[in-house]
Amino acid sequence: MHDDEAPAHSVQRDLAPVKRTPIPKFQLFVLLAIQFAEVMTALVIYPFVVQFVRDTGITGGDEAKTGFYAGLLESAFFMAESLTVFQFGRLSDIYGRRPVLLLGPLGLAMSMFGFGLSKTFWWLFILRCAQGAFNGNIGVAKTAMNEISDPTNVADIFSYLSMMWSMGATLSPFIGGTLSSPATKWPDTLGRFQLLHDYPYFLPCAVAGSTAFLSFVFGYLGLKETLPSAVARARKRKGGPATETDPLLSASSATAARHDPQEVRTVRELLTRPVCTALLCHGMLTFCDMTFSALLPLVCATPIELGGLGLEPQSIGLIMGLCGITNAIIQLLFGGRVIRHFGARRVFTAGFCALIFAFSMYPLRSILARRAGRVDGAVAAVLAAQLSSSCFMYFSYSATIMFTMESAPNKANVGGVNGLAQMVGTTLRAAAPSCASSLFALSVQHNLLGGYLVYLVLGAIALVAVRCSLLLPRRLRSEAEGS
* Collapsed DSSP state (helix, strand, coil) of residue 134: helix
Quick check: pTM over 0.85? no
**What's the confidence (pLDDT) of residue 412?**
67
pLDDT tops 80 at residue 144: yes
Nearest to 34 by CA among 129, 122, 136: 136
pLDDT tops 60 at residue 285: yes
**What's the confidence (pLDDT) of residue 263?**
65
Q: Which residues are CB-neighbours of 150 under 8 A, at least 6 positions away? A: 21, 478, 481, 482
DSSP secondary structure of 327-390? HHHHHHHHHHHHHHHH-HHHHHHHHHHHHHHHHHHHHHHHHHHHHHTS--HHHHHHHHHHHHTH
pLDDT tops 50 at residue 439: yes
For 128, half-sphere exposure in the C-beta direction (CA atoms, 13 angstrom radius) is 26
Q: Convert the pLDDT of each residue in 384-394 to its tens digit.
A: 898 888 778 87
Higher pLDDT, 17 or 84: 84
pLDDT tops 70 at residue 246: no
**What's the confidence (pLDDT) of residue 461?**
94
**What's the confidence (pLDDT) of residue 130?**
94
CA distance 360 to 378: 16
Q: In percent, how much of the chain has pLDDT > 70? A: 88
CA distance 183 to 63: 25
Place 109 in a pLDDT band, splitting at 50, 70 and 90: very high
pLDDT tops 80 at residue 397: yes
pLDDT tops 90 at residue 152: no
pLDDT tops 90 at residue 62: no
Q: Which residues are CB-neighbours of 111 under 8 A, at least 6 positions away? A: 41, 127, 130, 131, 134, 209
Please write down the long-range contacts of 263-270, taking CB distance under 8 Å and 24 or more positions apart.
Answer: 263/229, 263/410, 263/412, 263/413, 264/90, 264/93, 264/94, 264/412, 264/413, 264/416, 265/409, 265/412, 265/413, 265/416, 267/86, 267/416, 267/420, 269/409, 270/408, 270/409, 270/413, 270/416, 270/417, 270/420
State how far the alpha carbon of 370 is from the alpha carbons of 87, 306, 442, in Å.
50, 9, 20
pLDDT tops 60 at residue 216: yes
Mean pLDDT of 21-37: 90
For 442, half-sphere exposure in the C-beta direction (CA atoms, 13 angstrom radius) is 10
pLDDT tops 60 at residue 23: yes
pLDDT tops 50 at residue 6: no
pLDDT tops 90 at residue 142: no
Higher pLDDT, 326 or 464: 464
pLDDT tops 90 at residue 310: no
CA distance 162 to 327: 9
**What's the confidence (pLDDT) of residue 437?**
79
Mean pLDDT of 301-328: 78
pLDDT tops 80 at residue 245: no
Q: Convert the pLDDT of each residue in 91-108 to its tens digit.
A: 888 888 899 999 999 999
Give the angle subtended at the CA of 57 by the CAs of 53 and 61, to the nearest 5°.
95
CA distance 51 to 69: 11
Q: Convert the pLDDT of each residue in 332-375 to its tens digit.
A: 788 788 888 888 899 999 999 999 999 999 999 999 999 888 88
Mean pLDDT of 205-230: 91
DSSP secondary structure of 183-233? HHH-TTTGGG-HHHHH-TTHHHHHHHHHHHHHHHHHHHHHPPB--HHHHHH
The mean of the pLDDT values for the chain is 82
Out of 12-26, 109-123, 298-312, which region has the weakest mean confidence (pLDDT)? 12-26
Residues 78/407, Cβ–Cβ less than 8 Å: no
pLDDT tops 80 at residue 113: yes
Q: Print burial letters for 120-136: b (CB count within 10 Å at least 16), e (below 16).
A: ebeebbbbbbbbbbbbb
**What's the confidence (pLDDT) of residue 360?**
92
Place 260 in a pLDDT band, splitting at 50, 70 and 90: very low
pLDDT tops 60 at residue 3: no
**What's the confidence (pLDDT) of residue 240?**
57
Place 256 in a pLDDT band, splitting at 50, 70 and 90: very low
**What's the confidence (pLDDT) of residue 249?**
40
CA distance 394 to 287: 14
Q: Residue 14: how many CB atoms within 10 A of its CB? A: 9
State how far the alpha carbon of 374 is from the alpha carbons of 308, 377, 403, in Å.
10, 10, 44
**What's the confidence (pLDDT) of residue 475?**
81
Nearest to 107 by CA among 230, 215, 3, 13: 215
CA distance 126 to 59: 18
**What's the confidence (pLDDT) of residue 414?**
78
Q: Among positive and negative, which fits the CA dihedral 388, 394, 396, 399?
A: negative
Q: Which residues are CB-neighbours of 441 under 8 A, at least 6 positions away? A: none
**What's the confidence (pLDDT) of residue 255?**
36
Q: Convert the pLDDT of each residue in 177-215 to its tens digit.
A: 888 889 988 988 888 999 999 999 999 999 999 999 999
**What's the confidence (pLDDT) of residue 480?**
59
**Residue 73 is which amino acid?**
L
* Collapsed DSSP state (helix, strand, coil) of residue 10: coil
